[in-house]
């Protein structure tokens, strides 16, 4: 088990290194106009050259990369070109917002998808057809369209919920909860149906295994077979679906945060991309990749724990 964890950690670290290297060269290879863009048309050439030197852009890219890497290893991801704010600080201050909506959404999506998927697999009939239809609808309607529709209906027309903005929990828990409702709903709606369909098919697959028939022949009640044996064996597939949903939701959060004006990592990503604040974009990429890898590792460990073949070794 320890060897398994160590191997996965090593592979994860390698992945972060490869991706951050690729991203660094992608982002900084063509940053010749940065100083001019930062200073505006009014600036003299001398000022531009001075700014370039200040940002270190006149140095070779390899040298800059190794400097970035050694700093990043100590937790220093550099500073923003526009605000001079340390990037790690910016990320950490925005992490709670993104994590709150993504985590609430993923838990809700997991519960709903499991209930829907299991019901569809066990009952069949109209529940099954409903899940199929919802899965196509959930695929067809992108999350930003869902967000726009629920904002228009619940915030603008019915004025039930705040349309945009974020209230910290410590300021006003009720407003915090209300400001969560629409963004979380948008994320859940666009993921739950496809997750339910995948859980349905893995559940159906397990239901048709030989040992299920043998358990029935032993006189074990159907309910116990469903909720103890079949659920247990289809859980790894469900967890894998969830880890993919997490990656999807980290992407979805970028769009959702922009629509609802939530000060999360996604909004930071969009802002810094639009401005050309390359070090911040770099920081966001590295940070997100680490988050995704950590979540995947946790899912792998949970699957290992669920699967006795891995556990015993």
Question: What is the rounded distance in angstroms from the CA atom of residue 243 to the CA atom of residue 293?
Answer: 10
- The two structure tokens encoding residue 175: 């407003």
Q: How many residues interact with another protein (rule CB under 8 A)? A: 69
Question: What is the rounded distance in angstroms from the CA atom of residue 304 to the CA atom of residue 7?
Answer: 13
Question: What is the rounded distance in angstroms from the CA atom of residue 16 to the CA atom of residue 182?
Answer: 33
- Give whichever of 159 and 174 is closer to another protein, judged by the CB atom: 159
Q: Does 198 bind another protein (CB under 8 A)?
A: no
Residue among 1, 209, 227, 261 that touches another protein (CB under 8 A):
209
- Vertex 196: Cα angle to 259 and 294 (nearest 5): 65
CB of 289 to another protein, least distance (A): 7
- The two structure tokens encoding residue 32: 């010749």
Residue among 58, 177, 232, 298 that touches another protein (CB under 8 A):
232
Residue among 80, 185, 245, 288 that touches another protein (CB under 8 A):
288
- The two structure tokens encoding residue 163: 């349309």
Q: Does 108 bind another protein (CB under 8 A)?
A: no
Question: What is the rounded distance in angstroms from the CA atom of residue 159 to the CA atom of residue 154?
Answer: 6
Query: Is there a contact between 20 and 72 (Cβ–Cβ < 8 Å)?
Result: yes
- Give whichever of 5 and 149 is closer to another protein, judged by the CB atom: 149
Question: What is the rounded distance in angstroms from the CA atom of residue 77 to the CA atom of residue 290?
Answer: 13
245-264 residues near another protein, rule: CB under 8 A: 247-248, 250-252, 254-255, 258-259
CB of 21 to another protein, least distance (A): 12
Query: 86 has which bridge partners?
Result: 79
- The two most distant CA atoms of the chain are separated, in Å, by 87
Candidate segments 61-69, 75-83, 177-185, 269-277, binder of another protein by CB under 8 A = 269-277
Q: Name the site residues for another protein (rule: CB under 8 A).
A: 15, 18-19, 23, 26-27, 29-30, 136-137, 139-145, 148-149, 151-152, 156, 209-211, 213-222, 229, 232-233, 247-248, 250-252, 254-255, 258-259, 269-270, 272-274, 276-278, 281-282, 284-285, 288-289, 292-293, 296, 306-309, 312
């Amino acid at each position: 088990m320890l060897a398994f964890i160590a191997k996965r950690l090593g592979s994860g670290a390698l992945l972060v290194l490869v991706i951050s290297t690729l991203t660094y060269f992608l982002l900084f290879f063509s940053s010749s106009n940065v100083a001019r863009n930062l200073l505006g048309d009014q600036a003299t050439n001398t000022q531009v050259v001075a700014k370039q030197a200040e940002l270190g852009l006149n140095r070779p890219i390899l040298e800059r990369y190794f400097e970035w890497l050694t700093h990043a290893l100590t937790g220093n991801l550099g500073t923003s070109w526009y605000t001079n704010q340390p990037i790690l600080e910016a990320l950490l201050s925005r992490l709670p917002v993104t994590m709150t909506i993504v985590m609430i959404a993923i838990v809700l999506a997991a519960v709903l998808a499991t209930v829907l998927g299991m019901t569809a697999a066990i009952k069949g009939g109209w529940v099954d057809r409903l899940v199929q239809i919802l899965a196509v609808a959930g695929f067809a309607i992108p999350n930003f369209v869902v967000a726009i529709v629920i904002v228009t209906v619940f915030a603008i027309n019915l004025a039930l919920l705040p349309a945009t903005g974020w209230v910290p929990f410590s300021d006003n828990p009720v407003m915090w909860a209300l400001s969560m409702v629409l963004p979380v709903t948008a994320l859940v709606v666009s993921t739950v149906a496809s997750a339910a369909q995948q859980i349905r098919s893995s559940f159906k697959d397990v239901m048709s295994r030989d040992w299920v028939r043998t358990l029935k022949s032993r006189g074990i009640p159907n309910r116990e077979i469903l909720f103890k044996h079949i659920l247990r064996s289809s859980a790894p597939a469900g967890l894998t679906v969830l880890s993919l949903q997490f990656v999807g939701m980290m992407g979805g959060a970028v769009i959702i945060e922009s629509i609802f004006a939530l000060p999360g990592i996604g909004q930071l990503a969009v802002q810094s991309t639009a401005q050309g604040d390359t070090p911040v974009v770099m920081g966001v990429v590295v940070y997100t990749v680490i988050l995704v890898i950590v979540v995947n590792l946790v899912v792998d460990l949970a699957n290992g724990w669920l699967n006795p073949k891995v556990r015993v070794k």
